[in-house]
Structure 1
Amino acid sequence: MRKLWDFSGGIHPPEHKHQSTTRPIQPAGLPDILILPLQQHIGSPAETQVAAGDRVLKGDCLAGAIGTMGVPVHAPTSGTIESVSKHPVPHPSGMVDWCITLKPDGEDCWGERLPLINYTRHERTAVLGRIRDAGVVGLGGAGFPTNIKLRPPRRDKVDTLILNGAECEPYITADDMLMREHAADVVSGLNIMAWLLQPERCVIGVEDNKPEAIAALQAAAKDTLIDVVVIPTKYPSGGEKQLIQILTGLEVPHNGIPADIGVMCQNVGTAVAVCRAVVHGEPLISRITSVTGEAVSNPGNYAVRLGTPVRYLLDQAGVDAQRLERLVLGGPMMGYTLQSTDIPIVKTTNCIIAAARGELPEPPPEQPCIRCGACAEACPMALLPQQLFWYSKAQEFEKAEHQNLFDCIECGACSYVCPSSIPLVQYYRFAKGEIRTQRAEHLKADRARVRFEARQARLEREQAEKEARRQERARAAAESQLQKKQAAQSAPSDDRAARAVAVQQALARKSEQVKAKFPAATVDGSETPDLQVLEQQRDQAREKLATMKTMLADARTADADNVDKLERAVTKNIERVKRAEDAVKAAQPPATDTTEQP
């Protein structure tokens, strides 16, 4: 018998599992509409590859993966794309997100499927790529991309591969029924993952309250090296870190992952999805979901297509609207209340509880903490919930982090045992959200600071380069002037004489041009104005003055608007005529006296 260990804390709430295990898994059928969110996992949302009006087949890729943490979304059936729009999605806040709306055509016609029956003949990267392309994520709750988890860091050699079949939370029986009816697929999926990781041991951990599932798994793993281990029933033994500690005695380090200690944990539902993706070539388009609670007449587990509205699934289970008081998505410990039945089933939806009056009553009002320490005794992570509560409530987030706030798995055991009805988990979630927001803001500010400093450095560098170029140009100009001066000083005298002759010739040419423009008469060797030209200019001025006077008289007679303008023009012409007459008089030679002198 394999040795088992135990973890600190834990509780034993009422199980309520018998309600949904009395009959086999039922097909949920095909609803009138399917709503497929683009983000159904941890990581980047998928990118839409279809548009309204497109015809798709079952299994076709509707949205492709983005980045290393992305996985695609596929069509659960054949039909027509109605829209790509925002729609309410499963979230405690009731948020909306981008979704693809598919209207089934009722034919349920498959598209192309490419199985890898002999997967061991292929490269491991090809098998991992097939798992990624099938959209397989962890079906135990968080929805972490399976292909990433199956590719641990090279420094971390996986020695033990654990398949989680504990399913410790009350009401939920999806994994229990899956192990009972599809044990062969569970073992097949585990073998594929073991081939990828090459571990030394493969273990399936199942709580002792599931005898039928244990028997089915033992029969399916009879001729293999897989060890089916039965563990005591205690909540939350199905938590990844708790199950690892029970089966191996090892603890996952703070801020670490199981691969750091050579262990990997996968869910049994994930193993079946891996088997279907590799062996059958089928993407993840459906899952087993428990529908239970006293408000439904046919509780059980249903094979549900992803995107099925919750209201349709409740109708299949025979919900009594008169008795329904509270609708919970997930289990009573870690789930949350739904405000609408329009939200769709996604890859991580494992249970819907339709609780009747008094079945899951609202907790009483919060009372002051009495410091009883019951929360610390129940905590499976050996934390101090009381201190975390005080720091979270006072918004002293740094102190809460020092108390290992992010080690909390939000199992709800502390809230369950609190006699003061303090919603401790809600306080922890609030503190985690605020810390993540602050970190994002700090990261954004740091990036902005880095960009600003880089810009300043670039501007300073450009300014320095510009100043260096200016100084280089100034130095080159000074050197050029100095060289010219030195060349002029050292030039021979005949060169200077030649340059002087060239200057005199240029001056002579300029003088000839002036003479051609202003002709003049030469008397006794001195230049005098041309009298004939001056008289011609005088006569032209007199004629223009006479014309202007005539125009002025006509304007005055007609009382025109331009009289003032003409008067100014006449005045200017009178002055021009006077200057011309003075020039003529000045140009005339002086009169010669011919009288003989005695």
Structure 2
Amino acid sequence: MQSPIRIWDIHGGIHPDENKHQSVSYGLETPPLPAYLILPLLQHIGARAEPVVAVGDRVLKGQVLAEASGMVSCPLHAPTSGTITAIGPAPFPHASGLEEWAITLQSDGLDAWTTLVPIDDYSQLEAASLLEIIRLAGISGLGGAGFPTAFKLKARPEQKIHTLIVNGTECEPYITADDTAMRYRAPEVVAGIQILMHILKPDVVLIGIEDNKPEAIAAMREAVADLPMQVLAFPTKYPSGGEKQLIQILTGKEVPSGGLPADIGMVCQNIGTLIAIHDAVTLGQPLISRVTTLTGDALSHPTNVMALIGTPISDLLAFAGLQPDKLYRLVMGGPMMGFTLQNLDAPVIKTSNCLLAGTLAELPPPPAAQPCIRCGLCSEVCPAMLLPQQLHWFAMGKDYDQLNRLNLFDCIECGACSYVCPSSIPLVQYYRASKAEIRALELQQHKADHSKQRFEHRLQRLEREAEQKDLERQARAEKTARMKAAKEQQAVSAASVSGDEQPDVARVEAHKPATLTAEQKQLKIAAATAQMALKKARKQLSNNPDNLELQAQVPELEQACADTQLAYDEALGDVSMKAVPPSPAESGDNTKRQLKTDMTMAKAAFRKAERAREDDVENPQLNDQLTEAKMALDSAAKAFADHMANKETD
């Protein structure tokens, strides 16, 4: 015998007219298969799903159409078999009336299932495996918020969940979706609870139901029987169905401001979510349908239906006997927290628990707002114990710091304050707008901080790269200096061994001018050209050693290379090198080179004088210069010939 659980009360709350009797007379019905389905990619809190099908693809019931694109996201499945006809913007059930990206599926009427993988004994599976099954089934909270269930169940892995609370309250007027589900699918609800018990292993399981649902309470108690869970009935009050409010009612504990139930070791799940968990694990079926209430005085047949996700709202209203001449306002959700739909072609999504087709008398337009009279009624009924007057004042002034200080985000937007306001001020609308503006500013600030952080990291990276380059440059310079010093040391050592006071290389560098004159540059170019010609001739001769012409050219090129190099060295004015007394063989070679160089220079001077006289024939001075150049050329040629004759005689 389980000990009785104390029922606590919450602050504030109201008792609006229920009107739940309208939609419970016909049980749980199944509407006809729609001709087409519109499946939005964003039916949950988090990232939009990514399509994995293309236009023209034929799909089966239960087949994956879009995969989750992040940790907080849900995949999307085909509610029936058919053909993909469009992927793009489509009507979406939202207060703004804006479109949302969706997959349009044309039904083939066969309703043929894809291959399913049911689990015969889930008790043999680990918690992680069951959570993955739930995630892949695309299950998100069906109570209204639409938070991905698998992520919610492991939101605090380090926190032990000691209490599992099942939310069967459904305190919103008109809505009977959970009431009907508990009446007709209580065994599946209990089976879903047992699966969560296997995953979370809680110490206590509490099923909370308001006392205005006696049939649901009886059905759940019968299904629970002797299982370790308790069905608790408590007095009806709006908004006892809020997650934090229900926890306070059943346990007396409060969730910290800005916190989650998991922070105090609790987790809350909706009735429809538990049925979806049962179907995913036991039957292998993804979330493709949900119980939806169709109610309002504009319907001749108000009821609850098992609607396929993506069914156009107009199809469901037609099934419920919509009377267009009576329809004044169509609300998705209840009259307290719902919003007006702008387009009847919008589809049912995973969070669509009710469609309220109200008449003018049922949902009259609100009177014009009047100035606040500071009566304090809004503070008395606020279940979150906030200060609605102050929130309204700072919301109008856009003082977001004060709104955060007053815990604006603890507001559950239940509408109780607006309901009792004698000045008809739409307080909740102000709160919703301020929340959206604060989120937008926080997102903008987050992007700015992220950009600043990236910029600072880039500057740091560039500084590190510049420092690294400087270090590498210094290392190369030091290495070059060490290599140069080592070569000079080797040259000095070699000179010391041979008896020279200073090596030739050092003497050349010591006497080498800082810059070359035009004549020195020409001689340097001539020496380099002669070396290149000699190298080319030697290479050709090595490839063709029998070529007599090349054999004759190589000695001449060698002599020309030596002569041009000698002329360049002399032009540099290397006195120290000339001071070294050459050997007899070297002296003879130097005389020959000098005579040949003199002859070459005399020949160049003669050609220059000859060209000058051709340009100005009548100038007698040029004739004298030409005669002198001819005499110098003859003298140099004779000296070279005599030297060669004497050398042959020797």
Contact 1:534 1:583 in 2 (8 A): no
User: How many residue pairs align between the two structures?
Assistant: 551
Letter in 1 for 2:203: E
Which position in structure 2 is the counterpart of 1:575?
Answer: 616
Find the counterpart in structure 2 of residue 122 from structure 1.
Answer: 125
Compute the displacement of 1:76 (Å). Answer: 0.3
One of 35, 57, 60 as aligned partner of 2:63: 60
Partner of residue 363 from structure 1, selected from 366, 384, 391: 366
CA distance in 2, matches of 1:475, 1:365: 85
Query: Which structure: greater helix fraction?
Result: 2
Question: In 2 relative to 1, CA 317–469 (structure 1 residues): closer, same or farther, beyond 3 Å?
Answer: same
Cα displacement (A) at 1:153: 2.1
8 Å Cα contact 1:39/1:46 also seen in 2: yes
Counterpart position of 1:17 = 20
1:333-348 map, 5 Å: 333-348=336-351
For residue 494 of structure 1, the aligned residue among 488, 499, 503 is 499
* Aligned-partner residue type, residue 575 of structure 1: D
* 1:276 and 2:279 aligned: yes
Partner of 2:646: none
Contact 2:292 2:355 in 1 (8 A): yes
Q: Secondary structure at the match of 2:616?
A: helix
Unaligned 5+ segments in structure 1 are 521-526, 542-570, 591-598
> Is the partner of 1:324 in helix, strand or coil?
coil
Distance 2:160 2:32 in 1: 43
Q: Distance in 2 between matches of 1:530 and 1:39?
A: 93
Establish whether residue 320 from structure 1 lines up as the match of residue 323 from structure 2. yes
Higher mean alpha-carbon deviation, 397-406 vs 220-229, is at 220-229
Structure 1 partner of 2:30: 27
- Tell me, in whole angstroms, the C-alpha distance in 2 between the residues paired with 1:82 and 1:588: 103
The aligned runs of 1:130-149 (5 Å cut-off) are 130-149=133-152
Is 2:308 the partner of 1:267? no
After alignment, is 215-224 or 381-390 more displaced? 215-224
- Distance in 1 (CA, whole Å) between partners of 2:299 and 2:581 is 117
Normalising by structure 1, we get a TM-score of 0.86
Structure 2 residue aligned with 1:310, among 307, 310, 313? Answer: 313
For 1:238, the aligned partner's letter is G
Match of 1:441 in 2: 444
Report what 2:333 is aligned to: 330
Alignment of 1:203-218 (within 5 A): 203-218=206-221
Paired residue for 2:180?
A: 177
Whole-Å Cα distance in 1 between the matches of residues 362 and 451 of structure 2?
A: 52
Change (3 A) 1:587 1:184: closer
Cα offset for 1:250?
0.9
Q: How does 1:94-109 map to 2 (within 5 A)?
A: 94-109=97-112
Q: Given the superposition, is the C-alpha separation of residues 168 and 510 from structure 1 closer, same or farther in structure 2, using an over 3 Å criterion?
A: farther
2:394 and 2:153 map into 1 onto residues whose CA distance is: 37
Is the CA contact (8 Å cut-off) linking 2:118 and 2:283 kept in structure 1? yes
Asked whether the equivalents of residues 72 and 134 of structure 1 are also in contact (C-alpha less than 8 Å), the reply is yes
Aligned residue among 142, 154, 179 for 1:151: 154
Instruction: List per-residue Cα deviations over 1:476-519 (Å, max 9, x = no partner).
Output: 44445555566666642634588448997999979867866884
CA contact (8 A) 2:166 2:208 kept: yes
Spell out the pairing of 1:64-83 with structure 2 (5 A cutoff).
Answer: 64-83=67-86
Judged with a 3 Å threshold, the aligned counterparts in structure 2 of structure 1 residues 528 and 137 are, in CA distance, closer, same or farther, namely closer
**Cα distance, 1:66 vs structure 2:** 2.1
Instruction: Report the counterpart of residue 94 of structure 2 in structure 1.
Output: 91
Q: Does structure 2 conserve the Cα–Cα contact (< 8 Å) formed by 1:132 and 1:147? A: yes
Alignment RMSD, CA only? 2.8
Gaps of 5+ in 2: 505-576, 633-650
How far apart, in 2, do the equivalents of 1:316 and 1:573 lie? 118
1:594 aligns with none
Range with greater deviation from structure 2 (111-120 or 83-92): 83-92
* Secondary structure of the structure 2 residue equivalent to 1:437: helix
Is the Cα contact below 8 Å between 1:46 and 1:71 reproduced in 2? yes
Identity of aligned residues (%): 50
1:516–1:138 Cα change, 3 Å: same
Question: Cα 1:171–1:510, aligned 2, differ >3 Å: closer, same or farther?
Answer: farther
Matched, 1:199 2:202: yes
- 2:565 matched to which residue of 1? none
Answering whether residue 251 of structure 2 is matched by residue 251 of structure 1, we say no
Name the counterpart of 1:3. 6
Cα drift, residue 12 of structure 1? 0.3
CA contact (8 A) 2:140 2:149 kept: yes
SS state at 2:331 partner: strand
